[in-house]
């Protein structure tokens, strides 16, 4: 840490000189206070948590068991005579340009889109936290190396990277490879935001205090700095979930995405662009599904963020 | 320390705003300054992919500029019929040796004369192996041509200033028809001094010329003005031509609607369903010399040159509802194919024997497929490969769906990310599926649609088709001087193709376009490019 | 301080070497022969193709190509594109346009995002906050193509407020509409980031102290709350600058902006190694400078952060 400031001297008075001994009595029956347990207790009292949880669980159920929700096969029997047609009978939301059932494709596409969104989010968050936290907290040459590595990854044109990765793995074009292709180049944004926040937090009084009591550096980072610096990461992360689902659409559009037989919201959104002026409904429904899912995750992120912030909690 | 901290921040801010200012300052000034822009036609184009040298330009972006600034021996009128331009006469007795006379007293815009040498030198340059010209194959029929080494075209002989002769390796009745293509344009003497510089600022002899040394503004536009010395049949009826380069057709279309563009020669797919109501009677939609198909290589299992292969090819062809796809996916901007050429070409026919195989016939398709299954049962997915950077996904999916619904087999598109990748897989024969093929004619003749694609060992015979009967008919047509007789042979040759189906014909791409309210007399040529010189503007 | 800046600039050298190598390798690893694509649907003669390969050194192994390119750079030669134009000229032509566009977009998204985010944060849970969330969601879930297309149709064609595409020289007034469209990509992120940061800052001790001292909201909000909330926002906006430079492919295409995104995309699709690498090299340089500027800005936003280590 800083060399130009004198290390704060800490002086603890002898026990007999302090008259408030009784306060130090510990109620052993009380559970230990823990950041995460406190957060959970706080979260479950909030309606927003339950609303977003229900939506997320519903989306997951749709993803796992699409046939519970529609009996129309999504890709068979696409008749051009139904092209861009309106709702009729068992076809609740009408037809796509190719004459496939919009609703059925939406339901069957959930699994792909959700998987891509979640894997990419996890990937960028883990990599972003690792690189950002160490770069920001330890600084110096470690910061230089980690940050410049991020710069390299970030300046590689995403399209080039995607084309190369997907072409090299052309035999294995599945959701995992595509998530890897998207996630591996998106983490530096998260890393930099976290690094900035840590630079700010690591000079806070409570960090100084922890340091003075001899807590190890790594423990300080884990217990004090990270929880206080995580808020912007949660914001970026929850939104990138949606961005990842849309990115999958772009890749499909460029011909390096998933095969056309794989249904995904992204595939449908990019296919709907051609008839924007004449058949906007084919665009609206997959976009709406995407919006609701992202909304649920944003609300969930919001609740978690509030719960992790003891000061915000105290205000209520 | 504290002061420094703020100092740093201030420096950072100054640096950031300096970055902003340099970004804003450079290049903000240039605006169109010409006062008499009223009669200048603005048209859409794309950045030429190669230097503007006639023998090295093989795509439409550069092609439409070259056609405007050069005059060849002949030009093609709106119907695709050749008209003499610089040539006074092109004569032959045997379709093997041609005597070409040039009109006297013609010059390039820099004063160099247009004479026999300007043609012969340009062709020698274009054909020479080490010059690596993309269009060198146009000279392959001329005596002396070689793909392996530098070898002069011995078939070219200058008789006098205005006369030269061309001797071919063998008779080619359609050779005079080819002479309107840009590869056969003349070059001025100055071009040979520094071809690289010339390619950036070409000097021609056509109806237009470059407005200045810097007329070609890369990736933005090229400004052409009228060449008053041009005396041929394509005299410009307007004050000049500005070709604006667009990276996307959507942008060009928006500009047409927004009043920034006079003529557009390609409607984007996103406007297929609206352009006719947007433009009214200023919308253009007519057949063009572009043939689209997919090719099934004979080396694929089940598709060999045998009974089973022919049955399957015919079944697939009859399983595709071309009418519905051209109607729904292309909203009428494609015309279902009835042969292997194009309706704008002299000799095209919609009543060839065996053309029924190009009609949607689900029952017959199922029957033929079942017969083929009896020989050897089918399994797996029928795939059609395409390049994803060319907007082909929709029709490939629709075609695959049509096959799937009719034959009850799995069928799908197989996208390659880039054109380069798909062409490589096709050229080195590693591709294991059917693939999209298309052909835009270089000159308006039936042979151009057949010879390069289906003759044994022909350069673009990507499916390795070979049928001696077909080759013989092609050869017969080529050596016949009478064009009606030749076309008869070419039609018979196509009837063989309809039985073998080396490629499954799909449709002819129409030229779709439109023009602004102020432009009039807009006509589209046989090659889908508007005849810019005819356009007038009020 | 000068030492710190110098050290940061020196770090650019290994970064540049690493990036050029990586990019060159990626272009090299792209399947397909770029020269074949030059011939359209026609198949060229193999001997001609071989000659062209030699001209562009495509017949050489990867490492030789890379060092040939690197050697060229040291002589000030960035190579030529397939169209015969020096890559240096292409860089000089496209970067000013795109930098201008990116800066405009950045200003728009920054000002708009921070203002909306600030008000949202101050009025957490109120109607304004909820509406801002809905607007953000729309921007997140609609692809940029749709936003650009709709904006062009409404403002360019129907209302006629803006030119449908950017005219020659890319003057600023023509770039306003595309800049707004570009800004919409990360608008949502900036709103949410500012909002979260403001909410957190509001509960900090010094803000409460300021209130209890009786300072006016007019002073507390910009000086105490906003300034201390800007660090993550500024960081994110800076990373976004890079995205705006190369990621403007779609927007530049629809508005016909002759800039980096469009040219780079073409070069990637056509497999023009030297062009792609040169563009990315300049990109990395800009990116390093922007990040340095941002790191220096931290000191201004939060005096506790020391830049010198």
Which pLDDT band holds residue C20 (cuts at 50, 70, 90)? confident
- Please name the residue ranges forming H helices in B286-412: 307-319, 322-328, 362-375, 393-407
- A256 Cα to chain B: minimum distance (Å): 6
User: Looking at the predicted structure, is the pLDDT value of residue B16 above 50?
Assistant: no
Beta carbons of C228 and C302 less than 8 angstroms apart? yes
> Could C82 and B50 be called an inter-chain contact, meaning their C-beta atoms sit closer than 8 Å?
yes
- C47 Cα to chain B: minimum distance (Å): 6
User: Looking at the predicted structure, is the pLDDT value of residue A256 above 80?
Assistant: no
Pick the residue from chain B with its C-alpha nearest to A251.
Answer: B417
- A61 Cα to chain C: minimum distance (Å): 22
> Could C197 and A305 be called an inter-chain contact, meaning their C-beta atoms sit closer than 8 Å?
no
| Residues B433-480 pLDDT 10s | 999 998 888 889 899 999 889 999 888 888 899 999 999 999 898 888
| Residues C171-180 pLDDT 10s | 888 888 999 9
State residue B471 phi and psi, 5-degree precision: -60, -40
pLDDT at position B450 is 92
The shortest CB-CB distance from C293 to any of B15, B199, B248 is to B15
Beta carbons of A273 and B270 less than 8 angstroms apart? yes
> Could A260 and B412 be called an inter-chain contact, meaning their C-beta atoms sit closer than 8 Å?
yes
Which pLDDT band holds residue C309 (cuts at 50, 70, 90)? very low
> Could B412 and A83 be called an inter-chain contact, meaning their C-beta atoms sit closer than 8 Å?
no
Q: Which residues in chain B have their CB less than 8 angstroms from residue C87's CB? A: none
> Could C45 and B136 be called an inter-chain contact, meaning their C-beta atoms sit closer than 8 Å?
yes
C35 or B114, which is more confident? Answer: B114
Give Cα A176 distance to the centre of its chain.
16
> Could A235 and C204 be called an inter-chain contact, meaning their C-beta atoms sit closer than 8 Å?
no
Beta carbons of A152 and C26 less than 8 angstroms apart? no
Dihedral of alpha carbons B165, B168, B172, B177, sign: negative
User: Looking at the predicted structure, is the pLDDT value of residue A169 above 80?
Assistant: no
> Could A167 and C30 be called an inter-chain contact, meaning their C-beta atoms sit closer than 8 Å?
yes
Q: Which residues in chain A have their CB less than 8 angstroms from residue B421's CB? A: 167
- A150 Cα to chain C: minimum distance (Å): 10
- C42 Cα to chain B: minimum distance (Å): 5
Beta carbons of A260 and B415 less than 8 angstroms apart? yes
- A214 Cα to chain B: minimum distance (Å): 28
Q: Does A259 touch chain B (CB under 8 A)?
A: yes
Q: What mean pLDDT value characterizes chain C?
A: 83
Rounded mean pLDDT of A241-266?
77
User: Looking at the predicted structure, is the pLDDT value of residue A41 above 60?
Assistant: yes
Q: Does A199 touch chain B (CB under 8 A)?
A: no
> Could B30 and C168 be called an inter-chain contact, meaning their C-beta atoms sit closer than 8 Å?
yes
- Percent of chain B exceeding pLDDT 90 equals 56
Helices B307-319 and B483-500 sit at what angle, rounded to 10 degrees? 100
Which pLDDT band holds residue A257 (cuts at 50, 70, 90)? confident
Q: What mean pLDDT value characterizes chain B?
A: 87
Return the H-helix or E-strand segment holding B513.
strand B503-515
DSSP characters over B436-467: EEEEE-SSS-HHHHHHHHHSTT-TT-TT----
State residue B110 phi and psi, 5-degree precision: -100, 5
The shortest CB-CB distance from A80 to any of B271, B325, B417 is to B325
Rounded mean pLDDT of B470-497?
90
Closest CA to B89 of B67, B71, B73, B72: B73
Q: Give contacts of C 184-213 with B, CB under 8 A.
A: none
> Could A203 and C284 be called an inter-chain contact, meaning their C-beta atoms sit closer than 8 Å?
no
> Could A80 and B269 be called an inter-chain contact, meaning their C-beta atoms sit closer than 8 Å?
no
> Could B24 and C172 be called an inter-chain contact, meaning their C-beta atoms sit closer than 8 Å?
yes
Q: Which residues in chain B have their CB less than 8 angstroms from residue C51's CB? A: 129-130, 132
> Could B273 and A256 be called an inter-chain contact, meaning their C-beta atoms sit closer than 8 Å?
no
User: Looking at the predicted structure, is the pLDDT value of residue B335 above 50?
Assistant: yes
Q: What ipTM score was computed for the predicted complex, to two decimals?
A: 0.82
> Could A260 and B387 be called an inter-chain contact, meaning their C-beta atoms sit closer than 8 Å?
no
Q: What is d(CA B472, CA B490) in angstroms, rounded to the nearest whole number?
A: 10
Two structure tokens written together for C214: 């009786």
Pick the residue from chain A with its C-alpha nearest to C197.
Answer: A232
Rounded mean pLDDT of B194-221?
91
Q: Which residues in chain B have their CB less than 8 angstroms from residue C33's CB? A: 420, 423-424, 427
- C170 Cα to chain A: minimum distance (Å): 23
Return the exposure string of C110-120: e unless at least 16 CB atoms fall within 10 Å of the residue's CB, then b: bebbbebbbbb
| Residues A123-137 pLDDT 10s | 999 999 999 999 988
Contact partners for chain A, using 3 or more CB pairs closer than 8 A, are: B, C
Which pLDDT band holds residue B25 (cuts at 50, 70, 90)? very low
pLDDT at position C24 is 82
Q: What is d(CA B536, CA A298) in angstroms, rounded to the nearest whole number?
A: 58
> Could A98 and B418 be called an inter-chain contact, meaning their C-beta atoms sit closer than 8 Å?
no
> Could A192 and C235 be called an inter-chain contact, meaning their C-beta atoms sit closer than 8 Å?
yes
| Residues B340-383 pLDDT 10s | 999 999 889 988 989 999 999 999 999 999 999 999 999 889 99
Please report the number of interchain residue pairs, chain A to chain B, with beta-carbon separation below 8 angstroms: 69
Rounded mean pLDDT of C5-15?
84
| Residues B64-110 pLDDT 10s | 999 999 999 999 988 888 999 999 999 998 888 999 999 999 999 99
Rounded mean pLDDT of A144-162?
81
Q: Does A167 touch chain B (CB under 8 A)?
A: yes
User: Looking at the predicted structure, is the pLDDT value of residue B499 above 60?
Assistant: yes
Beta carbons of B218 and B201 less than 8 angstroms apart? no
pLDDT at position A221 is 85
> Could A277 and B329 be called an inter-chain contact, meaning their C-beta atoms sit closer than 8 Å?
no
User: Looking at the predicted structure, is the pLDDT value of residue A18 above 60?
Assistant: no
- C88 Cα to chain B: minimum distance (Å): 13
Q: Give contacts of A 51-70 with C, CB under 8 A.
A: none
> Could B147 and C96 be called an inter-chain contact, meaning their C-beta atoms sit closer than 8 Å?
no
> Could A246 and C141 be called an inter-chain contact, meaning their C-beta atoms sit closer than 8 Å?
yes
Pick the residue from chain A with its C-alpha nearest to C232.
Answer: A193
User: Looking at the predicted structure, is the pLDDT value of residue C142 above 80?
Assistant: no
The shortest CB-CB distance from A274 to any of B270, B398, B404 is to B270
Say which range, A137-146, A156-165, A279-288, B484-493, has the weakest mean pLDDT: A156-165
Q: What is d(CA A72, CA A92) in angstroms, rounded to the nearest whole number?
A: 10
The shortest CB-CB distance from B394 to any of A4, A97, A255 is to A97
User: Looking at the predicted structure, is the pLDDT value of residue A315 above 50?
Assistant: no
User: Looking at the predicted structure, is the pLDDT value of residue B117 above 90?
Assistant: yes
Two structure tokens written together for B20: 């902003």
Which pLDDT band holds residue B497 (cuts at 50, 70, 90)? very high
Q: Does A78 touch chain B (CB under 8 A)?
A: yes
Q: Which residues of B touch A (CB under 8 A)?
A: 1, 269-274, 321, 324-325, 328-329, 387-389, 393-394, 397-398, 401-402, 404-405, 412-418, 421
Q: Give contacts of A 23-42 with B, CB under 8 A.
A: none
Q: Does C285 touch chain B (CB under 8 A)?
A: no
> Could C293 and B258 be called an inter-chain contact, meaning their C-beta atoms sit closer than 8 Å?
no
* Distance in angstroms between the alpha carbons of the first and the last residue of chain C: 10
Q: Does A5 touch chain B (CB under 8 A)?
A: no
Q: What is d(CA A138, CA A198) in angstroms, rounded to the nearest whole number?
A: 10
Which pLDDT band holds residue A2 (cuts at 50, 70, 90)? very low
Two structure tokens written together for A166: 């997907």
Return the exposure string of B206-215: e unless at least 16 CB atoms fall within 10 Å of the residue's CB, then b: bbbbbbeeeb
Beta carbons of C100 and C247 less than 8 angstroms apart? no
Closest CA to A151 of C244, C280, C309: C280
| Residues C270-287 pLDDT 10s | 778 788 888 888 888 888
> Could A291 and C203 be called an inter-chain contact, meaning their C-beta atoms sit closer than 8 Å?
no
Among A47, A48, A151, A165, pick the best mutation site for testing chain C contact (most C Cβ within 10 A): A151
| Residues A49-81 pLDDT 10s | 899 899 999 999 998 988 888 777 777 778 887
pLDDT at position B292 is 93
* Distance in angstroms between the alpha carbons of the first and the last residue of chain B: 71
pLDDT at position B8 is 46
Beta carbons of B384 and B434 less than 8 angstroms apart? yes
Contact partners for chain B, using 3 or more CB pairs closer than 8 A, are: A, C
Closest CA to B409 of B387, B436, B377: B377
- Percent of chain B exceeding pLDDT 70 equals 93
> Could C232 and A154 be called an inter-chain contact, meaning their C-beta atoms sit closer than 8 Å?
no
């Amino acid at each position: 840490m800083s060399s130009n400031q004198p290390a704060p001297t800490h002086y603890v008075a002898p026990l007999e000189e302090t008259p408030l001994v009784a306060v130090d009595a510990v109620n052993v029956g009380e559970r230990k206070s823990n950041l995460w347990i406190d957060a959970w207790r706080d979260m479950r009292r909030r309606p927003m948590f339950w609303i977003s949880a229900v939506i997320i669980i519903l989306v997951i159920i749709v993803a796992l068991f699409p046939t519970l929700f529609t009996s129309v096969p999504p890709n068979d029997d696409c008749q051009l005579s139904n092209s861009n047609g309106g709702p009729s009978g068992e076809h609740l939301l009408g037809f796509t340009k190719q004459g496939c059932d919009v609703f059925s494709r939406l339901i069957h596409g959930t699994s792909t889109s959700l998987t891509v969104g979640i894997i990419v989010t996890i990937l960028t968050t883990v990599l972003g936290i690792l690189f950002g936290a160490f770069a920001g907290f330890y600084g110096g040459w470690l910061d230089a190396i980690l940050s410049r590595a991020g710069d390299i990854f970030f300046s590689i044109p995403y399209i080039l990277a995607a084309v190369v990765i997907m072409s090299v793995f052309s035999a294995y074009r599945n959701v995992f490879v595509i998530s890897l292709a998207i996630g591996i180049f998106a983490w530096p944004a998260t890393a930099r935001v976290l690094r900035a926040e840590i630079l700010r937090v690591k000079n806070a009084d409570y960090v100084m205090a922890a340091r003075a009591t001899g807590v190890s550096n790594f423990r300080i980072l884990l217990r004090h700095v990270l929880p206080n610096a995580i808020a912007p990461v949660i914001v970026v992360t929850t939104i990138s979930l949606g961005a990842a689902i849309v990115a999958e659409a772009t890749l499909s559009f460029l011909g390096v995405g998933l095969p056309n037989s794989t249904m995904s919201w992204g595939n449908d959104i990019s296919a709907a662009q051609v008839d924007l002026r004449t058949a906007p409904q084919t665009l609206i429904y997959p976009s709406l599904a995407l919006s609701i899912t992202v909304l649920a995750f944003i609300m969930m992120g919001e609740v978690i963020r509030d719960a992790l912030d003891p000061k915000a909690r105290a205000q209520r | 320390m504290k002061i420094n901290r703020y100092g740093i921040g201030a420096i950072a801010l100054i640096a950031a705003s300096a970055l902003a200012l340099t970004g804003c300052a450079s290049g903000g000034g240039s605006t169109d300054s010409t006062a008499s822009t009223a009669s200048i036609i603005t048209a859409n184009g794309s950045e030429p992919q190669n230097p503007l040298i006639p023998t090295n330009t093989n795509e439409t972006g550069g092609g439409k500029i070259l056609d405007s600034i050069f005059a060849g021996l002949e030009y093609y009128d709106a119907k695709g019929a050749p008209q003499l331009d610089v040539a006074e006469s092109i004569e032959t007795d045997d379709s093997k040796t041609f005597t070409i006379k040039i009109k006297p007293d013609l010059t390039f815009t820099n004063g160099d004369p247009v004479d026999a040498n300007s043609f012969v030198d340009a062709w020698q340059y274009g054909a020479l192996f080490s010059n690596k010209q993309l269009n060198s194959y146009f000279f392959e029929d001329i005596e002396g041509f070689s793909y392996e080494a530098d070898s002069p075209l011995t078939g070219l002989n200058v008789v006098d200033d205005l006369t030269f002769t061309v001797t071919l390796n063998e008779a080619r009745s359609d050779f005079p028809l080819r002479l309107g293509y840009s590869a056969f344009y003349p070059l001025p003497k100055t071009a040979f001094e520094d071809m690289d510089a010339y390619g950036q600022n070409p000097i021609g002899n056509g109806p237009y010329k470059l407005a200045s040394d810097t007329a070609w503004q890369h990736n933005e536009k090229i400004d052409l003005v009228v060449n008053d010395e041009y005396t041929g049949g394509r005299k410009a009826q307007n004050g000049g031509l500005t070709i604006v380069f667009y990276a996307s057709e959507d942008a060009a279309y928006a500009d047409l609607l927004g009043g920034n563009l006079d003529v557009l020669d390609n409607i984007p797919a996103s406007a297929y369903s609206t352009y006719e109501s947007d433009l009214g009677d200023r919308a253009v939609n007519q057949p063009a010399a572009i043939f689209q198909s997919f090719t099934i290589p004979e080396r694929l299992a089940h598709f060999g040159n045998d009974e089973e292969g022919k049955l399957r090819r015919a079944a697939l062809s009859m399983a595709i509802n071309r009418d519905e796809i051209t109607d729904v996916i292309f909203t009428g901007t494609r015309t279902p194919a009835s042969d292997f050429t194009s309706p704008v070409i002299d000799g095209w026919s919609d009543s060839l024997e065996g053309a029924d195989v190009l009609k949607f016939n689900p029952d017959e398709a199922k029957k033929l497929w079942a017969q083929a299954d009896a020989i050897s049962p089918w399994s797996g997915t029928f795939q059609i490969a395409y390049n994803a950077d060319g907007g082909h996904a929709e029709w490939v999916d629709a075609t695959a769906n049509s096959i799937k619904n009719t034959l009850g087999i799995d069928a799908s598109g197989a996208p390659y990310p880039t054109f380069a990748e798909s062409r490589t897989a096709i050229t080195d024969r590693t591709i294991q599926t059917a693939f999209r093929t298309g052909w835009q004619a270089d000159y308006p003749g039936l042979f151009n649609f057949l010879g390069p694609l289906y003759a044994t060992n022909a350069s673009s015979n990507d499916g390795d088709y070979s049928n001696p009967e077909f080759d013989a008919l092609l050869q017969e047509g080529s050596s016949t001087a009478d064009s009606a007789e030749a076309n008869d042979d070419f039609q018979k040759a196509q009837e063989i193709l309809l039985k073998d189906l080396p490629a499954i014909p799909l449709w002819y791409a129409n030229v779709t376009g439109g023009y602004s309210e102020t432009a009039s007399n807009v006509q589209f040529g046989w090659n889908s490019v508007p005849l810019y010189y005819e356009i007038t503007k009020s | 301080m000068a030492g710190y800046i110098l050290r940061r600039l020196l770090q650019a050298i290994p970064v540049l070497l690493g990036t050029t190598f990586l990019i060159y390798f990626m272009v090299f690893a792209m399947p397909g022969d770029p020269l074949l694509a030059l011939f359209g649907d026609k198949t060229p003669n193999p001997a001609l193709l071989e000659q062209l390969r030699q001209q562009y050194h495509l017949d050489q192994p990867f490492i030789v190509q890379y060092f040939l390119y690197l050697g060229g750079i040291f002589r000030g030669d960035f190579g030529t594109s397939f169209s015969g134009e020096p890559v240096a000229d292409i860089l000089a032509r496209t970067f000013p346009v795109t930098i201008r566009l990116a800066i405009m977009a950045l200003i728009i998204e920054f000002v708009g995002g921070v203002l909306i985010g600030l008000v949202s944060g101050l009025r957490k849970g109120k109607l304004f906050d909820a509406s801002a969330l809905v607007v953000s969601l729309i921007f997140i879930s609609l692809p940029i193509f749709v936003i650009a297309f709709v904006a062009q149709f409404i403002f360019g064609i129907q209302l006629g407020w803006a030119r449908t595409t950017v005219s020659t020289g890319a003057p600023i007034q023509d770039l306003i509409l595309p800049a707004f469209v570009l800004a919409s990509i990360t608008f949502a992120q900036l709103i949410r980031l500012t909002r979260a940061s403001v909410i957190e800052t509001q509960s900090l001790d010094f803000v409460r102290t300021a209130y209890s001292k009786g300072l006016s909201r007019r002073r507390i909000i910009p000086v105490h709350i906003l300034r201390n909330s800007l660090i993550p926002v500024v960081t994110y906006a800076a990373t976004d600058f890079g995205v705006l430079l190369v990621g403007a492919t779609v927007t530049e295409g629809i508005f016909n902006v002759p800039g980096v995104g469009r040219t780079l995309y073409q070069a990637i699709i056509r497999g023009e190694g030297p062009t792609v690498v040169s563009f990315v090299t300049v990109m990395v340089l800009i990116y390093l400078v922007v990040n340095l500027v941002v790191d220096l800005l931290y000191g201004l936003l939060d005096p506790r952060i020391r830049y010198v280590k």
